[in-house]
Amino acid sequence: MDLRRVFRALFGVAAALFELLLPHRCAGCSGPDGPLCTWCRDRLDRRPRRCVPRPRCPQVWAAGPHDGHDRRVLLAHKEEGDDALRAPLGERLARVYTATGWSGPHTVLVPVPPRGRLPGEGPVAGLAEAALAAAGGARAGRTAPLLRYRLPAPRQVGLGRRERLRNRVGVFEAVPSAVRVRGSPVVVVDDVVTTGATLAEATRVLSGAGLRVVGAVVLNESRRREIRTVPHEGFTRGPPRAESPCP
Ligand SMILES: [Zn+2]
């Protein structure tokens, strides 16, 4: 038996017991009505918009900015492992996915793989599942963990775009079963887009396996100055284009 799975299951049981014993604070305001009080849920930005174009990335859509309240709630899910936030954040991501027009029974949502865990595990895979359920289930598509790490991934925090791109090249590979979805529209899912290095590499690998990547959806978009000034093919140097909120 895989010992890692056993330990993970035991950890899950212990975490569930711990949550039963302690009151769940709100991830947004630390108030008593956790995991996310009505006031904080309503404050999350839910206006799907196209992100500023990133070099080598497909079209990316986000639900809100990666700062303030939106960032705090996402980090509670991502870094503190608060699984209770999966449903409200999944619902937020579902709005983005639906707004893109890519939703459909043949669409395949591919989560960016978790570092050091099996494909299909981790917060992004959970978000993709929750988003799909909120978007209509099988009518909206399906999720498939078609990417995995092939190299240990150095952390991206604090690096510029060029370093992030270099860091990401070659870290992913497509799983063998990816060939089964050739011809289907593929949408890459992640929680945050910053420079776009991760989405660019995921798209490169999936496209290299013969898949048709139509775009990517994320919860939060981080706007760093270097993103707005790096020129690339099809992207004019200068100020960012105005956001295009979904109707
Ligand atoms: Zn709150």
Q: How confident is the model at residue 23 (pLDDT cuts 50, 70, 90)?
A: low
Instruction: Report pLDDT digits (tens) over 138-165.
Output: 999 999 999 998 876 666 666 666 777 7
Measured in Å, residue 31 CA sits from the centre of ligand 1 at 5
Measured in Å, residue 67 CA sits from the centre of ligand 1 at 16
What secondary structure letter does DSSP report for 102?
A: -
Q: Which residue has the higher pLDDT, 195 or 157?
A: 195
Per domain, the residue ranges of the chain are: 47-229
Name the residue with tokens 């799975």. Answer: 5
Distances (CA, A) of 8 to 115, 117, 167: 15, 11, 29
- Residue closest to 125 by CA, chosen among 117, 180, 35, 80: 117
Cis omega (within 30 of 0) on the bond before 245? no
Under CATH, which number does the domain 47-229 receive? 3.40.50
Measured in Å, residue 26 CA sits from the centre of ligand 1 at 5
How distant is the alpha carbon of residue 171 from its chain centre?
17
User: Is residue 239 scored above 70 in pLDDT?
Assistant: no
What secondary structure letter does DSSP report for 108?
A: E
pLDDT of residue 229: 37
- Residue closest to 161 by CA, chosen among 235, 101, 219, 247: 235
Measured in Å, residue 201 CA sits from the centre of ligand 1 at 36
Residues with CB under 5 Å of ion ligand 1 are 26, 28-29, 31, 37, 40
Torsion sign (Cα): 85, 88, 44, 35? negative
Q: How confident is the model at residue 166 (pLDDT cuts 50, 70, 90)?
A: confident
What secondary structure letter does DSSP report for 82?
A: -
Measured in Å, residue 71 CA sits from the centre of ligand 1 at 14
Measured in Å, residue 30 CA sits from the centre of ligand 1 at 6
For residues 182 and 77, what is the distance between their CA atoms, to the nearest angstrom? 32
For residues 81 and 92, what is the distance between their CA atoms, to the nearest angstrom? 18
pLDDT of residue 230: 38
For residues 208 and 220, what is the distance between their CA atoms, to the nearest angstrom? 27
Would you tell me how many other CB atoms lie within 10 Å of the CB of residue 45? 18
pLDDT of residue 240: 35
The overall pTM is greater than 0.85: no
For the chain, how are helix, strand and coil distributed in percent, rounded to 5? 40, 15, 45
pLDDT of residue 175: 94
Instruction: Report pLDDT digits (tens) over 43-84.
Output: 887 789 999 999 899 999 999 999 998 999 999 888 877 788
How distant is the alpha carbon of residue 243 from its chain centre?
19
